[in-house]
Structure formats: structure tokens, C-alpha cells
Amino acid sequence: MLQPGTYAPDFSVKDHNGNTVSLKDHKGKKIVLWFYPKADTPGCTIEGKGFRDDIQKFTDKGVQIFGVSLDNEADNKAFAEKFSFSYPLLCDVNREISLAYHAVKSIEEQHAARISYVIGVDGKIIESIESVDTKNHSKDLCSRL
């Protein structure tokens, strides 16, 4: 995983609504990147609902949430709509973000690892989270920010 204190790699990908999202466009905000293996699967749904339920607390703290998976726009859009996710799900179909952030080891991998990063307002990684408890991840993370 990328270590705290290092600059977060920039990226530019489409979200589930077809909007281009670039890290550099969110400079000056704290960002949580939570990587998940597959849209609309049990663990990913539990984790995603946690961020959905805590989104106002993150927003109040000035934190932008981005879910990241290798899923395409249609799959992520269906996932976001089914569970009323109000934050962007990034569609890393070319593995750009996942490779840069070590969520996959190679371009051939079919699913991203369940990891998260917190990026500071200065663009540096504050926290790298390799072990995620899907049920409590959002609340635990929000309490530390």
C-alpha cells in the first residue's frame, strides 16, 4: 500500500453518472477512496450503505467520499441507484486508479482489493487502511477524521 506522507497519485476516470472525476479537481478537500471488489455484492453493499448513512457527517467535516471499483458505469449506476448512494462511484475499468493505489497487482485482475485511503487537503496520504471491517468501516473512519 501507499504510505502516509506520500503524495496521492492523480487520476481521471468516469463516475457512475458518466462525469469525469479527477483527484486534482478536489485539491483542498479531504478525500476518502474506498476500494471495493464488486458492485452489488454482500460485503460491498454493507460497506457502501455505511458511507451512505454517514455521508452527512463526512460532508460536515469537509470530506469527499469516492467508492472505487473495476465495474463499468452501468453496473455502478445500478448499484448506486438500488441503495441510494449519493456519493460518486468511480469506474476504474482500465485499472488506472487501482494499479496506482495498489488495489490490484496487475491489469488482469478482475476485482480490486477491499482497501481505503484518506487523502489530506495537501494531496498527501494521511491513512492507508489494508484491513477493512465492512460493517464498521465508515463509522470508524469518520470518528478519526
Is the predicted pLDDT of residue 47 greater than 90, yes or no?
A: yes
Is the predicted pLDDT of residue 110 greater than 90, yes or no?
A: yes
> What does the block give as the cell for 110?
478482475
Banded model confidence at residue 31, pLDDT cuts 50, 70, 90: very high
Mean pLDDT of 50-71: 97
Quick one: which H or E segment has residue 56?
helix 42-60
Let me know if domain 30-144 sits in CATH 3.30.40.10.
Answer: no
Q: Residue 27 has what pLDDT?
A: 87
pLDDT digits (tens, 9 = 90+) for 65-97: 999 999 999 999 999 999 999 999 999 999 999
- Given the residues 44, 103, 112, 115, the one annotated as active site: 44
91 catalytic, yes or no?
A: no
Q: Give the sign of the dihedral formed by CA 143, CA 64, CA 76, CA 37.
A: negative
